[in-house]
A and B are shown apart, each in its own frame.
Chain A
Amino acid sequence: MAHVSVPMYWRTIPQRYRLVGQKCKKCGAVNFPPKGVCKYCSASSEFDEVQLSGRGKIHTFVLISAGGAPPEFAEQEKAGGQYPVAIVQLDEGPKVIGQVADADPKEVKIDMPVTAELRKIYTEEGVIRYGFKFVPATSGK
């Protein structure tokens, strides 16, 4: 299992629960997930916090089927079947990875508008790890 310790997970709650990103004070690019040094200009480690909208479009995606899921997602795959994992281009610029929920895997398409919402990601050490997944934008925010 890709182990993420409880304190490590806890430190990333603002980005996982409500997509808090950072805007580079030097070049103005939006970094998500937050970085130590700006990914775009590599010249600044000073940022302003920004609340991302959670809206974006599917840049590309893959369907995870039986046997392909990492151990922490294996039970989810067994209960719910095949699930999509997408790289989503957010309206604010950054590309992020997330599962696509509430969508028929056969209907997921490149450029499909999606929006982020809170879901259970997996449970480890009895602690439910919440975070964002993407859902089709038509089902609201």
Chain B
Amino acid sequence: MAVGISGYGVYIPKLRIKRDDYAKAWGSFSAAGVSEKSVMGYDEDVLTSAAKVSRRALESVPLGPDKVSRFALASTSAPYIEKLLSGTVVVSVGIPNSTFTSDHTTSTRAGTEAFIAAAEHLAANPSGNALVAAADAPRASMWDSVEHGLGAGAAALVLSGENLIAELEGYASFASEHFGERFKTREDELLHDLSVKKFSESSLINSTTKAGTSLMKKLGRKPEDYQHVVIQQPDARVPSTVAARMNFTDAQLSSGLISKMVGDLGAASTIVGLAAALDASKVGDRIMVISYGSGAGSDALSLKVVSERRATVRVQEELDRKEYIDYVKYLKIKGAIV
């Protein structure tokens, strides 16, 4: 039985800071291709954002929260290190307390990790409905150049066996050992990156191409079979580097390349990118999604669009709704000066 996406919802916080404001403060801006990025308000976090996109995704089907039989939450910047996170969202949205939930939090691969967990639930429970919410606003020290690109955003997907917008054709993964890029030890509140760019990038390229290539081999697909390709977006340049290795073109990347306007969305990067690709897609289009998480792993998903129905709130509307802040205001909201 076919399973896939029956609804989706996106939220981009309305505050933005431009790359020029970083350049004024620091003399440079380290996130290639990112022209501005989104910033969460003082009273928001990944749980309030996850609650918002969960409601939006359910309304887009529409499906009552009482029908959700599996909930998977993904984020690398949860407000608590120990404490159930999904419970906050479940109670706020009205998802039954008996629903099995899981929190995916240890790398930016978490978004697709949650997606695959939801797909496995449907494989075992064909009449179920799974809700996947990915919300992230990663934090690093203002002294760390990795901080420049870090944005904020969220997306949720409803996975079901009926009423599909896009059918899940298959998925594949790659996991291995790598270190020195983007990590947070038990003692840290902020993430580190040793800034050995080529070394980190080689892991990202290796993991994503392995996961993507093995999925296409499994499904008997060629790069040109896909109209939309969404690759993890730590900045707006890396996806092109990966795409070139896999014989994808920049044209295939364009619909899902949201990092130009919002920055690095961490665990939500590929899920928000997928929502943008769905918004732009036509019936019959194929979408490839390839995530990456430091440490290192990658998941690839292949989807085929089967319906013209789209979410009520478009990604473009979320990108257009914005208010600019300067770097000083940004530091105040982030609480960077203690």
Residues of A within 8 A of B (CB): 13-14, 17-18, 51, 76, 78-80, 99, 101-102, 104, 117-121, 128, 130, 133, 139-141
Known: A18-B94, A76-B42. A130 touches B321 (CB 8 A): no
Q: A117-B51, A117-B52, A119-B48 are in contact. Are A76 and B92 (CB under 8 A)?
A: no
Which residues from A are CB-within-8-Å of B59?
141
9 nearest A-B residue pairs (beta carbon): A17-B92, A119-B43, A118-B51, A79-B332, A120-B43, A118-B48, A118-B92, A80-B42, A79-B42
Q: Is B79 an interface residue (CB 8 A)?
A: yes
Contact B91 A18 (CB under 8 A): yes
Is there a chain A Cβ closer than 8 Å to B14's Cβ? yes
Residue B56, interface by CB 8 Å? yes
Rounded to whole Å, the gap between the CB of B97 and the closest CB of chain A is 12
Contact bitstring B42-60, A, C-beta under 8 A = 1, else 0 = 1111011001100110010
Q: Give the interface of B toward A (CB within 8 A).
A: 14, 41-45, 47-48, 51-52, 55-56, 59, 79, 88, 91-94, 312-313, 321, 323, 332-333, 335
User: Would B41 and A102 count as touching, CB distance under 8 A?
Assistant: yes
Q: A118-B52, A140-B56, A141-B59 are in contact. Are A128 and B42 (CB under 8 A)?
A: no
With known contacts A117-B48, A120-B45, A130-B47, A79–B92 Cβ distance under 8 A: no
| Complex Cα spacing A104 to B44, Å | 17
18 contacts across the A-B interface (CB closer than 8 A): A14-B91, A18-B91, A18-B93, A18-B94, A76-B43, A79-B42, A80-B41, A99-B43, A104-B323, A118-B92, A119-B48, A120-B45, A120-B48, A121-B43, A130-B92, A133-B43, A139-B14, A141-B52
Taking CB atoms, residues of chain A closer than 8 Å to B91 are 13-14, 17-18
